Structure 1
Amino acid sequence: MTSRPSFLFRLFRHLVLGGGAVLFLLPFVWMVLTSLKPADEIFTSTVHWFPTQWAAIDNYTQALTQVPLLRYLGNGVLVCTAILLLQIVVALPAAYAFAKLDFRGKQWGWRLVMLALMIPYQAIAIPLYVMLHWVGLLDTLAALVLPFTLSAFGIFLMRQFFKTIPDDLIHAARLDGMSEIGLVWRVMLPAALPALLAFSIFSVVAHWNDYFWPLLVISSPELATPPLGTMFFRNEEAGIHYGPLMAGTVMITAPLLLLFIIAQKRFIDGVTLSGVKG
């Protein structure tokens, strides 16, 4: 039996974790408080955490009216949802094949997936841009979606989770006459919901916060995603009124925070269970 950690060690551990949490939360807290302040209280010689005069209504109203922020949020939801659904359609059958099937070239295929994990998409941005230009998809929502339909990380994460599912369950389904495609969507998908939710959070956060790729392929303001919309807002405001700018940033960040708070238990379960088998 392992001995319980000493009180001093547990106290030290909690202090380190608590200090790290405060360090990471501090920018978010400052952003929210800044969104509540009038302009003359944002830049002062002394630091005031809380506003003496509340300007929340004005700041959030300007954030919603100076630029079409709700449209940017809608574009972000549409793009992230389309990317996630297409990634799932591709990743689940591929992960099932790598985890439970034997076929020629399996090892080389898996090595290619692992190689793709190490290549940032910024490194292939120019070839992707040229390809989209050839097919006439630049400055469209399709340009934001199509390059990310194949996720090497999604295949890796789901494959690791599928390795933990007993083979007896798959054999029983095959004896009942279920096809391999039916196995993927009717057996493996329900069993892999924790890992799928963890991957969904990774995917949504990555593409919701993506600034580089939309800036490269989108030139029409009406097609902007939330991070790109923040740039348009700053240009509109000439970088002067930071209260409305922070209010807009709060509204862009809030959905991700709420998503993680709601799904944090499933997210942790999915990440931990996906690493049980290699």
Structure 2
Amino acid sequence: MNRQASLIFRLLRHLLLLCGALVMLLPFIWMLLTSFKPPTEIFSAELRWLPEQWYLLENYREALSRVPLLQFMLNGLIVTVAIFLCQVSVAVPAAYALAKLQFRGRKVLFGAVMLCLLIPPHAVSIPWYLLMYQFGWLDSYTALIAPFSISVFGIFLMRQFFMTVPDDLIHAARMDGFSEFAIVWRVMLPTAIPALISFGIFSIVAHWNDYFWPLIVLNSPDYYTPPLGLVSFRNDDTGNDYGPLMAAATLVIAPLVLAFLLAQKRFIEGITLSGMK
């Protein structure tokens, strides 16, 4: 009887999870299927999931030819990777200091990090913009990268992970003659790969999809990121061209989906271990 009840509970749990996953995936499924349809079927009053006439090549050819979408995606790759590397170079040593070093004011500094988590990026966008203007960095990769080179969320996440690392490992490294700098990059960093992958997913997704900040600081299409490229498919006179728009959106999110699927195991492991303390 207990085995049957347990089986029924597992079936209901998986059914509930499948329903939740379907609700989350439904917009993406509709986006993908819309990118296969001709305009007549997209604007048809009759709801159809699969197209009667496949318009796949036309929509994706239009998405790649109307705007330099591949160039925009390359810009997004350059910006997101540069931001992530800058954030890691700051977050790892800062998190190590907050987690493993004993010094006066450590709790106050960690409290300041937690306080900064409450500040939305949009609240400081005007000071950031004025700073970029004073430095002459507007309309450049630097304007897209510099304001996000420090991530308080990254410091917090890495600090939580480093708290789970045994102190004996650090003491052993010091006995072997490692400096604190060497401990950070040769001992702590290799142990933090799951947390780095988790943070990398959060960071890359956030800045790959960022529309607000690039819209403010960029004028030249040479530096446009993927979200700004998608806006090119809008037309105030004739309306949105939904077929190529959905095709372009599919191409833009495909690298993110692929990256998450490849790093899924490490992502879950990093989030789990970072929440142990």
TM-score normalised by the chain length of structure 2: 0.96
Query: C-alpha deviations, 1:96-145, integer Å up to 9, x for none?
Result: 00000011221111111000111111111111111111111111111110
Q: Which runs of 5+ in 1 are unaligned?
A: none
Distance 1:5 1:94 in 2: 50
Q: What corresponds to 1:264 in structure 2? A: 264
Q: What corresponds to 2:97 in structure 1? A: 97
1:50 Cα deviation after fit:
0.6
SS of corresponding position for 2:234: helix
Describe the shift of the 1:256–1:237 C-alpha distance in structure 2 as closer, same or farther (beyond 3 A): farther
1:205 Cα deviation after fit:
0.5
Q: What corresponds to 2:143 in structure 1? A: 143
Structure 1 vs Structure 2: percent identity of aligned residues? 58
Q: What corresponds to 1:122 in structure 2? A: 122
1:92 Cα deviation after fit:
0.2
Q: Quick check: 2:233–2:241 contact (8 Å CA) kept in 1?
A: no
Q: What corresponds to 1:161 in structure 2? A: 161
Q: What corresponds to 1:205 in structure 2? A: 205
Q: Quick check: 1:66–1:236 contact (8 Å CA) kept in 2?
A: no
SS of corresponding position for 1:234: coil
2:7 maps to a residue whose letter is: F
Q: What RMSD over aligned residues (CA atoms) do the two structures have, in Å?
A: 1.6
Describe the shift of the 1:5–1:146 C-alpha distance in structure 2 as closer, same or farther (beyond 3 A): farther
1:40 Cα deviation after fit:
0.8
Q: What corresponds to 2:276 in structure 1? A: 276
Alignment pair present for 1:35 and 2:35? yes
Query: C-alpha deviations, 1:255-277, integer Å up to 9, x for none?
Result: 00001111101000000000111
Q: What corresponds to 1:186 in structure 2? A: 186
Count of aligned pairs: 275
Alignment pair present for 1:77 and 2:80? no
Q: Which runs of 5+ in 2 are unaligned?
A: none
Distance 1:150 1:40 in 2: 48
Between stretches 134-143 and 233-242, larger displacement belongs to: 233-242
Alignment pair present for 1:220 and 2:220? yes
Between stretches 131-140 and 243-252, larger displacement belongs to: 131-140
Alignment pair present for 1:60 and 2:60? yes
Q: What corresponds to 2:172 in structure 1? A: 172
Q: Quick check: 1:139–1:220 contact (8 Å CA) kept in 2?
A: yes
Query: C-alpha deviations, 1:156-205, integer Å up to 9, x for none?
Result: 00001101111111011101111000000000000010011100001000
Q: What corresponds to 1:45 in structure 2? A: 45
TM-score normalised by the chain length of structure 1: 0.95
Distance 1:8 1:200 in 2: 38
SS of corresponding position for 1:153: helix
Query: C-alpha deviations, 1:206-249, integer Å up to 9, x for none?
Result: 10111111111112122111011111232499534211111000
Q: What corresponds to 1:10 in structure 2? A: 10
Q: Quick check: 2:233–2:240 contact (8 Å CA) kept in 1?
A: no
Describe the shift of the 1:123–1:243 C-alpha distance in structure 2 as closer, same or farther (beyond 3 A): same
Describe the shift of the 1:11–1:237 C-alpha distance in structure 2 as closer, same or farther (beyond 3 A): farther
1:14 Cα deviation after fit:
1.8
Q: What corresponds to 1:110 in structure 2? A: 110
